Amino acid sequence: MALDCLLMPAYFLAACLIAFAANWLAAFKWRRAVSVHWAERARLLWPVRKSAGANILLLPASFGVLQFARDGHFSAWCVAAAGAAWLGVILGSYPLDREILPAFTFSKWLRFVAITWLLRIVYAVAWAAGAFLMPKRIDWRCFVVIAGFLTFHIMMHLGLRRKILARGGLLVHANDRLEAIVESTTERMHVPKPIVWLLDVPLAGAFALPLTHELLFMTGLMEICDDGEISAICAHELAHLTESKSVLAMRLLGSLSLFPLLFIRPALNAFGFPAGLFLPLILVPVLALQVRILARRMEKRADSVAAEQQSAEGVYARAIEKLYQRNQAPAVAESRRKIHPHLYDRMLAAGIQPDFQRPKPPESISLVHFALWIGMGIVIGFTFARSGFRG
């Protein structure tokens, strides 16, 4: 046990250094491309960011498996090893995040990461608890579990999530400038004025919360856009608040696309393995696809409304380009499965020809990270072989 205790800091440090080194090496080409157009730089950066995000799950899993191979059986130390590595990977990712967004000071970054991961973990625990507590046979206990989970889910959408953001210091009331812009935009569009919040992060963006009739604007957006551009972005988000009740109902149902996972235990009991596992799992991507189709249609509608409400031709197109440039997001995504259309197509739809050639889609994965994962696989395989583990 003493050795296991000493291994946990070692796992943390190793994961931190591996993540930092992999991210730094993978971003070398992006780092050197300082003189090219921002869209090309964003295209070069995307596989690095996506692979760095995958590291947050893959490296902890690898260290957990290494501990498993060492012990020869699953134990709490395997979970501890994965947890220590997870914290290390997150810390090791900070230099890349800071390089992409220099305004991300360590304190701001740490607060943002802590709160966003807290929300993810709360949801993950809720899903896992619901699946664990679900009985093997459908009876009255199923309805208790479902009622409890739905209550939690609705509470999150009706304000609990916002309260967590506010308690963490990320969410603050809108300043006078933003309030005035939103008020003038709602008057022009003849729609009710929503509650407006500022999300204190250097990223640029805005979100609509239709269930509570609220708008969230990131401080990064306020820093790079003028009042007319913010008004155009506001019009886009107000379009989401004016969606029909049927669309709102579909969005709420769509947020439950993982709901079939709650029924894995009764499905396995009724149909056995693997059919009982296959049935809930196949429903998740089917539901997610329907949600994506609806959301993409609503994004196109919101873009159209924003283009109609802009104060002058090209204002909305310039505004969304600024957001992508600030966030270093590709102007053409790697696939068409994203909810938002490609920035290039959104600008064309808004009536503006971008001042750059249509970029090629970015790569899906960084070669440096891919080599790392192959290497980790070899190390794990060698460790299992040396430990004499036979399953």
pLDDT value of position 337:
75
Largest CA distance in the chain: 73
Query: Whole-angstrom Cα distance, residue 173 to residue 275?
Result: 50
Listed residue (131, 132, 122) closest to 152, CA to CA = 122
Per-residue pLDDT of 310-334, as tens digits, reads 988 999 999 999 999 999 999 999 8
Which amino acid belongs to residue 12? F
Res 323: pLDDT? 97
The pLDDT tens digits of the residues spanning 41-95 come to 999 999 999 999 999 999 999 999 888 887 777 788 889 999 999 999 999 999 9
Q: Whose CA is closest to 361, among 383, 386, 341, 331?
A: 331
Binned at pLDDT 50, 70 and 90, residue 25 comes out as very high
Phi (first) and psi of residue 187, to 5 degrees: -65, -40
Average pLDDT value for the chain: 90
| Percent of the chain residues past pLDDT 90, beyond the cut | 64
pLDDT at 390 exceeding the cut of 50 = no
Alpha-carbon span 328 to 151, nearest angstrom: 37
Amino acid at 244: S
pLDDT in tens, 282-316: 777 777 788 888 889 999 999 999 999 998 899 99
What pLDDT is stored for residue 391 in this prediction? 46
Tokens representing 345 are 């197509």
| Count of Cβ atoms closer than 10 Å to residue 91 Cβ | 19
Please check whether residue 56 is in contact with residue 93, taking contact to mean a CB–CB distance below 8 angstroms: yes
Whole-model pTM: value is 0.89
Q: How confident is the model at residue 353 (pLDDT cuts 50, 70, 90)?
A: very high
pLDDT score at 136: 87
What mean pLDDT comes out for the span 101-129? 93
Nearest residue to 51 (alpha-carbon basis) of 343, 371, 359: 371
Q: Which residue has the higher pLDDT, 265 or 43?
A: 43
d(CA 18, CA 79): 19
* Residue 138 reports pLDDT greater than 90: no
Lowest mean pLDDT: which of 66-70, 214-218, 226-230, 341-345?
A: 66-70
304 close to 231: Cβ distance less than 8 angstroms: no
Cβ-count burial of 121 within 10 angstroms (0-12 exposed, 13-18 middle, 19+ buried)? exposed
For position 3, what pLDDT does the model report? 67
Residue recorded with tokens 């002058």: 312
